[in-house]
Amino acid sequence: MSFTIRFASKEDMPSVHRLITELAVFEREPDAVKISVEDLEKQGFSEKPMFQVFVAVQNDEIIGMALFYERFSTWKGKAIHLEDLIVTQSKRKLGVGKALYLRLMQYAYENDYKRVAWDVLDWNQGAIDFYEHSGATVLKEWRVVHMTEENLKNYVEKNSHEGI
């Protein structure tokens, strides 16, 4: 199978959105995607882009993507967070995911990032095995913490009277 990997363009965002939605279904959260194509276009292609995306393309169709952004580690320095790595269902097991993963790791290495971090669901054993085999460490002692938009609003409104 022949495919290429390149940085995504603004025009690719409908396909990226489709893959984000497909990943949410795979992760058993089919109603979780609230972001729109327009949000992706605005937030990924503004003066200060919030993310970058590598896409895998076959016959002018985007079949996979790795969406990531820069962050900072107080222990290591500049780092990358891999938000999503997805290959469309019909193109899995063909090396596309591995190629996207490798391209991201090459990018991190070439640009002197000190760490690449991401989350993986505990039931996604195939992904865990792949990551560990690649040399990544899956941290079992750490927990991912999220503050949702609604919870953020409630917390701030409840505690703002105390002063900051």
In the chain, what are the domains?
4-118 (3.40.630.30)
Is there a catalytic annotation at residue 131? yes
Handedness of CA 70, 74, 75, 77 (dihedral sign): positive
Q: Token digits for 39? A: 């949000």
- Cα–Cα distances in Å, from 155 out to 21, 58, 151? 29, 46, 6
Which pLDDT does position 163 carry in this prediction?
64
Radius of gyration of the chain, Cα coordinates, nearest whole angstrom: 17
Q: Which of 101, 107, 109, 131 is catalytic?
A: 131
Could you list the beta-strand ranges (E) of the chain: 4-7, 52-58, 61-73, 77-87, 115-118
Round to whole Å and give the CA distance between 16 and 56: 11
pTM: 0.93
pLDDT tens-digit series, residues 37-50: 999 999 999 999 99
55 pLDDT higher than 90:
yes
Inter-helix orientation angle 125-134/96-110, to 10°? 40
Residue 164 has pLDDT above 80, yes or no: no
Residue 1 has pLDDT above 90, yes or no: no
Q: Are 3 and 63 in contact (CB under 8 A)?
A: yes
